Structure 1
């Protein structure tokens, strides 16, 4: 059970929680000022929900209400799960903000600031997860290991890459090689990302333990496959950056994140090979 009152406020966990609350309120306040119609309603909702529930958790710890609650599981495990959920919320909300940029907003500076504070808040939630890794439910402990962190990075970068490509425009004209090239890049990013998300979900639900050693082999093979195809897709996309589209800057950003994703897949493959030894069956 965590400390309460003044002892909690001066502890590492308490100070981090206060910083998260401050950054969270700044994030959704700036999102409100910059406008949140349509798809931008998600970042506002994500920041607001994360902030409100984190504030309640902080209050419950501060006044020691958690000692009177029976959740059926340790409170520390519940707090870890909240940190994980809000990390996903804030990261996805920040990605949406970064994709739209200043589009449709008269308050460009506020939109940029909201994006920065959103990413910082997501990072702080991840740091909180890491601090509480010993309290994580067994399957979720994968997220606090090096392989789990790299998998999260892969999924995040991949999502940004294909989202920016969609936002930048991948259609250059009927029967244009440019359209075919960009569509190939988009399909590659989406397929690699989707399967990586499935692998991540299998890890955090513990299903990989039931599948056995063949799952690690499949993960390694997929990482190598994704590295090759994302590298190819990013090179193809780079050839058609100047062939028209809604936003050249977003296309450039998509290609940059495509190469970042490629590097992340390579790192993941190397780590899987090292952690599993001779991972491929002889």
Structure 2
């Protein structure tokens, strides 16, 4: 099997990239037909990002099919390495844009006669679903090409790295929408929403810092004991961040101050609360996946004999499972 031409077209990588192109094209085409990309400006960004990711992927596919990629190789950064990184970046890009499209789901211009609302809703909903499907296909493509990743730089494209990125995306959208909507809404309401904002920012900030340390392979350079400590801290922080987002989402739900959700502000604050709940669930799943790094505390009871009789001595021992973080 060759690396270009018909050999690439029939290969697993070629078929995956073709599926990505078909799904991505259908996504932005339906989004364009629904005319939901015009206002606000963040929806324009989502539409442009869809097209840019798809267009570059199409160009890479064209280079592979025609064999032009063989003439633009570099010793320090190969064409396949760039293709691998672009698949990973496009996966994150499509996830972000699809979440934005879902948050700003709204009415469009009449397209199917009458009010046209059903047709517009169907197009926008289909585009949103296809966006998530395309992101999944990009993730599978990146996993299939992970052998081209530079040594030590592949954490971001592993399943755990992508999972962490999704958590950071939704968590950032949660407090970002809260800031955009405004957290000043009366004395008690302002205090409650400020608490939610601080809790979410702290949970997200530390998680983002640990993700950055993973990307630059800092834990891999640590000693064995420190690697165990980093994994343990990561486990505890995922569990603690789950609680912070869970409590924050519950408090924000109590102070939505919206009887109806027809206004943009009420929809945004509701979307922020939903993102908070989902982020809490994702942090809980992340902590469950990191359970092998948790310390194991147990109590040993032994009986010691003495001249006057026997006595029970309780010894608390702390052990940690040393695993590869």
TM-score normalised to the size of structure 1?
0.84
Displacement, 1:210?
3.3
Query: 8-17 or 183-192: which moved more?
Result: 183-192
| Bigger relative contact order, structure 1 or 2 (CA pairs below 8 A, ≥6 apart) | 1
Could you list the runs of 4 or more consecutive aligned residues of structure 1 that deviate by over 6 angstroms after TM superposition?
279-282
Q: 1:221 is matched with which residue: 236, 253, 267?
A: 236
Aligned-residue Cα RMSD (Å) equals 2.9
Are 1:159 and 2:177 an aligned pair? no
Displacement, 1:144?
4.6
Determine the structure 1 residue equivalent to 2:63.
Answer: 60
Rg (Cα) greater in structure = 2
Residues 99 and 163, structure 1, Cα contact 8 Å, conserved in 2: no
Determine the structure 2 residue equivalent to 1:267.
Answer: 285
The 1:127–1:239 alpha-carbon spacing in structure 2 relative to 1, beyond 3 Å, is same
The Cα offsets for residues 231-251 of structure 1, whole Å up to 9 and x where unpaired, read as 211221222345457455554
The Cα offsets for residues 203-238 of structure 1, whole Å up to 9 and x where unpaired, read as 122233235524334323321221221121122122
The 1:68–1:277 alpha-carbon spacing in structure 2 relative to 1, beyond 3 Å, is same
Give structure 1 stretches of 5+ with no counterpart. none
Are 1:208 and 2:219 an aligned pair? yes
Are 1:240 and 2:255 an aligned pair? yes
Residues 183 and 190, structure 2, Cα contact 8 Å, conserved in 1: yes
Determine the structure 1 residue equivalent to 2:308.
Answer: none
The 1:47–1:243 alpha-carbon spacing in structure 2 relative to 1, beyond 3 Å, is closer
Determine the structure 2 residue equivalent to 1:42.
Answer: 45
Give structure 2 stretches of 5+ with no counterpart. 111-119, 298-317, 320-325
Distance 1:234 1:138 in 2: 39
Q: 1:102 is matched with which residue: 81, 97, 106?
A: 106
TM-score normalised to the size of structure 2?
0.74
Query: 233-242 or 207-216: which moved more?
Result: 207-216
Determine the structure 2 residue equivalent to 1:278.
Answer: 295
